[in-house]
């Protein structure tokens, strides 16, 4: 039996919910082209994203910890794959188009700068300083630029020529000013919803939540693994504590790494189930008749109120305890200086960029595009080439290479997976948590 695009489109129409985005009903591509014989429009989009250089570069871009600090922390690529997994699960549970959700998830961070949010902030700040009229750097817009303009793979057009629905999902946020510019270029296109305040497809809404679920969960894992967070600290969070209690109830002797993983696995699962349950209830209440009706209604993908509160606690905790941890800040300050230095160097001497970038206009945009596309290690190498070490910073001199985080080797479990040796406890907890699981955890560490 040969399964054709037609068969797949029929299956979508027969099996998905009435408010799912059907590939057959896509608003199409900016440059008309024949559709595939064997793949739906969204499958084609997903495959195109996967084969880009920008996607491959995600492997060497920071999520929270610099890519060079351990082989086990999330990178922008593994984060992206985890978002895609969550998005597919949730989309499937809600009868939405799994492939569209996956495509948006795989592309959602293509525009991220090197060094995670630190790089983005530095680029935004520099851009606004040299041109107060600019909209600044927006990584969602940059992701759209990657798929619309910057990837050079096809003879007939720039970018990937993705469908409207994939592009709409990639542009998660957009300033009004940017939306007006987009609308002028593409009337009724992907900028419109920011002007008429409608929603993106339900699949795009699912992806936004999948992103939140993935990073809040995996940043706890990486934070504890690095020793910057203690397990006792994260147990202060009601959501984590509940999952920890469930893990111990199911397997009272579980401890150490397995206890952490089982707790976080339960947290991920609790978040996904809450999202799909709460969203299913909203969809049942509003009963959108089609994908387009869902766009015109209120947001219909959401957590329950209780989970929204708990996840906010997690997010606030991660901001104060991990993202603003002195060691993380010290590293990211160095990374920001690298981005600022590169921006200034290319702006002053565009010929330092490869010719295909140097000749793009306006120059500022060319510098932003080139810099945003870099991996952490390439940015460091370029900075060293252009400015030489050491790098002058406000408070004195700092190494060009941002100072490494101090990783407690005892906690880097997988580094010597077969050693069977348990090291000393990571940052001894300030307060002893009255829980048998924590005692077990400490026993396993001590
Ligand atoms: Mg993300």
Looking up residue 297, the CATH number of its domain turns out to be 1.10.3210.10
pLDDT in tens, 316-353: 999 999 999 998 888 889 899 999 999 999 999 999 99
pTM: 0.87
Domain annotation covers residue 178: no
Q: How far is the CA of 109 from the centre of ligand 1 (A)?
A: 6
Domain annotation covers residue 218: yes
Domain annotation covers residue 52: no
- Domain of residue 229 covers 209-325+423-445
**Domains: count for the chain:** 1
Helices and strands in the chain: count of H runs, count of E runs? 21, 2
The pairing of beta strand 396-398 with beta strand 391-393: antiparallel
CA 396 and chain centroid, separation: 34
Contact 40, 99 (CB under 8 A): yes
Please state, in angstroms and rounded to a whole number, the distance separating the CA atoms of residues 349 and 347: 6
Residues of the chain with pLDDT under 50: 390-446
Q: How far is the CA of 349 from the centre of ligand 1 (A)?
A: 33
Q: How far is the CA of 4 from the centre of ligand 1 (A)?
A: 33
Q: How far is the CA of 386 from the centre of ligand 1 (A)?
A: 30
Q: How far is the CA of 357 from the centre of ligand 1 (A)?
A: 26
Domain annotation covers residue 400: no
Lookup: tokens for 33:
């082209």
Domain annotation covers residue 370: no
What's residue 389's pLDDT? 58
Contact 214, 75 (CB under 8 A): no
pLDDT in tens, 122-167: 999 999 999 888 889 999 999 999 999 999 999 999 999 999 999 9
Domain annotation covers residue 248: yes
CA 303 and chain centroid, separation: 19
Q: How far is the CA of 392 from the centre of ligand 1 (A)?
A: 32
First CA to last CA distance, the chain: 59
Domain annotation covers residue 319: yes
Q: How far is the CA of 80 from the centre of ligand 1 (A)?
A: 6
Domain annotation covers residue 251: yes
Q: How far is the CA of 81 from the centre of ligand 1 (A)?
A: 10
What's residue 261's pLDDT? 95
Q: How far is the CA of 47 from the centre of ligand 1 (A)?
A: 19
Lookup: tokens for 291:
């994908």
- 75: three-class secondary structure by DSSP: strand
């Amino acid at each position: 039996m040969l399964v054709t695009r037609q068969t797949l489109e029929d299956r979508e129409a027969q099996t998905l919910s009435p408010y799912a985005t059907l590939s057959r009903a896509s608003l199409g591509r900016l440059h008309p082209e024949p559709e595939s014989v064997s793949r739906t429009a969204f499958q084609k989009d997903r495959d195109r994203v996967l084969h880009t250089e920008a996607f491959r570069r995600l492997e060497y871009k920071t999520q929270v910890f610099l890519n060079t600090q351990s082989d086990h922390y999330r990178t922008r690529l593994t984060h992206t794959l985890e978002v895609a997994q969550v998005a597919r699960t949730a989309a499937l549970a809600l009868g939405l188009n799994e492939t569209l959700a996956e495509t948006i998830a795989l592309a959602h961070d293509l525009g991220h700068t090197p060094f995670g949010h630190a790089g983005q902030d530095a680029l935004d700040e520099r851009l606004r300083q040299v041109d107060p009229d600019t909209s600044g750097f927006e990584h969602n817009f940059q992701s759209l630029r990657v798929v619309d303009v910057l990837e050079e793979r096809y003879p007939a057009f720039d970018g990937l020529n993705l469908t409207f629905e994939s592009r709409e999902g990639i542009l998660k946020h957009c300033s009004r000013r940017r939306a007006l510019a987009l609308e002028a270029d593409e009337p009724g296109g992907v900028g419109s919803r920011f002007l008429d305040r409608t929603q993106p497809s339900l699949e795009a809404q699912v992806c936004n939540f999948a992103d939140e679920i993935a990073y809040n969960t995996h940043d706890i894992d990486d934070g504890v693994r690095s020793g910057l967070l203690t397990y006792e600290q994260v147990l202060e969070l009601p959501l984590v504590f509940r999952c920890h209690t469930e893990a111990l109830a199911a397997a009272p002797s579980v401890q150490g790494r397995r206890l952490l993983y089982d707790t976080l696995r339960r947290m991920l699962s609790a978040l996904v189930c809450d999202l799909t349950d709460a969203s299913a209830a909203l969809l049942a209440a509003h009963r959108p008749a089609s994908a387009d009706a869902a766009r015109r209604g209120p947001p219909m993908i959401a957590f329950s109120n209780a989970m929204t509160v708990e996840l906010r606690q997690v997010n606030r905790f991660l901001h104060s305890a991990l993202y603003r941890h002195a060691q993380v800040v010290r590293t990211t300050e160095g990374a920001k200086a690298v981005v600022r230095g590169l921006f200034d160097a290319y702006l002053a001497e565009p010929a330092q960029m490869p010719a295909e970038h140097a000749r793009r206009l306006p120059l500022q945009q060319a510098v932003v595009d080139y810099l945003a596309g870099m991996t952490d290690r390439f940015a460091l190498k370029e900075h060293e080439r252009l400015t030489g070490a050491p790098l002058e910073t406000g408070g004195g001199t700092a190494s060009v290479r941002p100072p490494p985080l101090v990783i407690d080797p005892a906690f880097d479990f997988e580094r010597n997976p077969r050693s069977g040796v348990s090291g000393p406890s990571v940052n001894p907890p300030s307060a002893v948590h009255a829980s048998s699981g924590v005692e077990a955890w400490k026993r396993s560490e001590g």
